[in-house]
Amino acid sequence: MFGYRVPSPDEAMLISGGRRGLKGAPFRVVTGHGTFVLPIFRKVRFLTLAMSESEVAETCVTKQGIVLTVRAVIAFKVGNDNESIVNAGQRFLSEQEQMSVLTGRIFSGHLRSIIGSMTVEEIVTERQKLATEVLETSKTEMGKIGLIVDSFQIQSIDDGDTGYIEAMSAPHKAAIQRQAKIAEAQATQASVEAEQEAARNQAEYERQTAIVEAEYKAEVDRAQAQSAQAGPLAQAHAQQEVLAAQTELAERAAQLRQQELVAEVVKPAEAEAERIKVVALAEAERMKIQAEAAASHDRVALDQLLIDQLPQIVKEAATGLSQANVNVLNGADGLGEVAAGLVSQGLTILDTVKQNLGKPAEREPADGSPRTAPTPRTGPDDGPVAIP
């Protein structure tokens, strides 16, 4: 609309030609909104409120007399309040670029003054302290011209060809280099130890692997050897079992043959020995009876005595057979035959005694030599008793 003016967000609109502004200023200040301006009767100008920058490169002398070249950067702007805008507008409205020049000059003066009261060591090691002091001393003066400083940064400090800063840093450089060498040596040592540890681990791994492979190979060899020996071992085991069976069979055959020999030889021999014993007992008894008969000359008594002694003779024969280990093979029939044999032997013995009753008893020789026992008579029935 004609006559309506609006300033930019980073500008202040200064209107002159009408009523005066704040504290008798020759213009009114409008920011953040628009207003009607009468043409011809009013004049409008704009003052920037944007951030500006100023660089400083100043040669300064320290407290020690060392010449330093200091470079710094100042960030500043016109204050947002009406008083700062009025102060800056009255000074820089026609030549706003002079704000950077004037700001640089102001800070250069304060920078020289503060550096002159400090040593190089303080300036180098306490750079932020230097910047703060310069900023604080310039704030009042900058406020008078309507400017505020947002930042003041020292970019570099150079002592030229004097070499003071370098000499000052030499011990630190040496310490740093020493520490760097120590760190490098420690790193090298750690690297070597790590390599050695890795080599040891590799060797241990290879050893373990070799052990496992050897054990596996030994196990495979054992399995192969067992497999190769399985056939011969099985054959030998089978032969051993055959030999054991043959041995057992031979032992059983030997036992059976021994039993047969006992039945065929030993038992008949024992029976024959028992028979001979019975015959001898009977002969002895006969001789006793004969002696008694000769003494009594009583034949009837002798016959009666023989008859009485016959059961005892048979009993003795039976007692001898009972003590012999005789096998009866035909059961009850075989037992009857044995009893019949005993009776038959008793009768045979009785007949033998009767036949010898008439013989006179042999007298002892006159010369006193021992009497020879008469030879017992043997008949056709005097052989061994056959026991079926």
User: Highest-confidence range of 20-34, 97-111, 159-173, 258-272, by mean pLDDT?
Assistant: 97-111
**What is the average per-residue pLDDT within 187-216?**
92
| 101 and 17 share one domain | no
Residue whose C-alpha is closest to residue 13's, from 33, 30, 25 = 30
User: What residues contact 263, with CB distance under 8 A and at least 6 apart?
Assistant: 327
- Examine the domain organization and report whether 212 and 141 are in the same domain: no
Q: What is the pLDDT of residue 236?
A: 83
Looking at the fold, whether 157 and 71 belong to one and the same domain comes out as: yes
Average pLDDT over every residue of 205-214 = 93
CA angle 333, 337, 339 (to 5 degrees): 115
Per-residue confidence (pLDDT) for residue 162, from 0 to 100 = 81
Best mean pLDDT range from 109-113, 256-260, 287-291: 109-113
Mean pLDDT, residues 361-386 taken together: 44
Higher-confidence position of 174 and 204: 204
The mean per-residue pLDDT over the stretch 129-151 comes to 89
123 belongs to a structural domain: yes
The pLDDT confidence band at residue 277, using thresholds 50, 70 and 90, is confident
Task: Provide the percentage of residues in the chain whose pLDDT is more than 90.
Answer: 16
Structure tokens at 142: 């900058």
For the stretch 292-334, pLDDT in tens is 776 665 555 556 666 666 666 656 655 655 555 545 444 445 5
Domains contained in the chain, number: 4
Domain match, 44 and 60 both: no
Residue 279 included in any domain: yes
Whether residue 123 is found in the same domain as residue 193: no
Q: What is the CATH number of the domain that holds 105?
A: 3.30.479.30
Q: Please, what is the average pLDDT of the chain?
A: 78
Range scoring the smallest mean pLDDT among 69-83, 126-140, 277-291, 369-383: 369-383
* Residues 234-252: tens digit of each pLDDT: 788 888 888 898 898 889 8
pLDDT exceeds 70 at position 207: yes
pLDDT at 384 > cutoff 90: no
Give the pLDDT of residue 139. Answer: 87
Task: Kindly state whether residues 60 and 107 are assigned to the same domain.
Answer: yes
Q: What is the pLDDT of residue 211?
A: 94
Contact between 72 and 107 (Cβ < 8 Å)? yes
Strands 52-61 and 35-36: unpaired
How would residue 376 be classed by pLDDT, with cut points 50, 70 and 90? very low
Domain membership of residue 43 as a residue range: 1-50
Residue 375 has pLDDT above 50, yes or no: no
Residue 384, domain member (yes or no) = no
Q: Please check whether residues 309 and 341 belong to one and the same domain.
A: yes
The answer to whether 27 and 90 have CB atoms below 8 angstroms apart is no
pLDDT at 361: 42
- 142-162 pLDDT, tens digit per residue, is 988 899 998 888 888 888 888
In this prediction, residue 373 has a pLDDT band, given cuts at 50, 70 and 90, of: very low
* Span of 58-67, 193-202, 267-276 with lowest mean pLDDT: 267-276
pLDDT the model gives residue 265:
80
For residue 370, is pLDDT > 60? no
Output the CA torsion sign for 46, 52, 58, 64: positive
* 237 is a domain residue: no
Mean pLDDT on 343-348: 64
Please give the pLDDT value at position 253: 87
Q: Please check whether residue 130 lies inside any domain of the structure.
A: yes
157 shares its domain with 181: no
Q: Is 213 helix (H, G, I), strand (E, B) or coil?
A: helix
**For residue 139, is it within any domain?**
yes
212 located within any domain: yes
Is residue 138 located within the same domain as residue 216? no
Same domain for 211 and 277, yes or no, is no
User: Which of 134, 162, 190 is the endpoint of a domain?
Assistant: 162
The burial class, CB within 10 Å (0-12 / 13-18 / 19+), for 30 is buried
On whether both 339 and 280 belong to a single domain, the answer is yes
Beta-carbon contacts of 39 under 8 Å, excluding residues fewer than 6 positions away, are 2, 3
Question: Of 101, 182, 116, 102, whose CA–CA distance to 144 is shortest?
Answer: 102
Q: Are residues 60 and 121 in the same domain?
A: yes
Residue 148 lies in a domain: yes
